[in-house]
Amino acid sequence: MAVKAALADGAQVQALITHFADAGEMLHRSLAEVYENIRDFWVVRQDGQVLGCVALHVVWADLAELKSLAVREEAQHGGLGGLLVEAVLRDARELGLASVFCLTYRPSFFERFGFQRAAMMELPRKVWTECVRCSKFPDCGEIALVKPLTEASPWHQGQLQLRPQEASS
């Protein structure tokens, strides 16, 4: 079961993120950044160990980013990633958010949850503020995906365009 992270989870969350960031699969997060944003995080624990984490970071009144999704390698393919995604989507709906987006190298995983491809340039300046700090900028290869949650979503209303799923993913 996915639960809100506690302060005691901070070091394990940061270590898990670091493992995948060192492999080039996500951005690094400092321990200070994890603690500063601990209320954004959800975790799955077993016997006191954090097996997976994800964050839902609100960037505007109607939009949040799903970020830092990581599941320990030995715990992958057991549904924990899905539990974490479902937890943050539930949280986003409860907050009244219209849309959730993510940037990923694995779009097919998120497409299973109703995320759809979007143009990176349609995402908020907040993302670009973070992206410019990345060593891979501007050629990171991450794919932007959005999940409209309500009819108020600019993607749902057609103000911003979703892109069709590409067969290559």
Residue with tokens 């970071």: 57
pLDDT tens digit sequence for 24-65: 888 899 999 999 999 999 999 999 999 999 999 999 888 999
Question: Which residue type occupies 140?
Answer: C
The DSSP H or E segment spanning 64 is strand 63-71
pLDDT reported for residue 112 = 96
Structure tokens at 80: 């924990």
Q: Which domains does the chain have, with CATH numbers?
A: 2-163 (3.40.630.30)
Residue pair 143/102 in contact by the 8 Å Cβ criterion: no
> What's the predicted TM-score (pTM) here?
0.86
CA distances for 93 relative to 30, 65, 73, 79, 97, angstroms: 28, 13, 29, 21, 6
Q: Would you say residue 158 has pLDDT above 60?
A: no
Task: Report pLDDT for 52.
Answer: 98
Please name the residue that has the structure tokens 């964050």: 55
For residues 94-116, average pLDDT: 95
DSSP designation for 143: E
User: What is the mean pLDDT of the segment spanning 114-124?
Assistant: 83
Instruction: Tokens 């009819």: give the residue.
Output: 151
Residues 6+ apart with CB under 8 A from 134: 27, 140
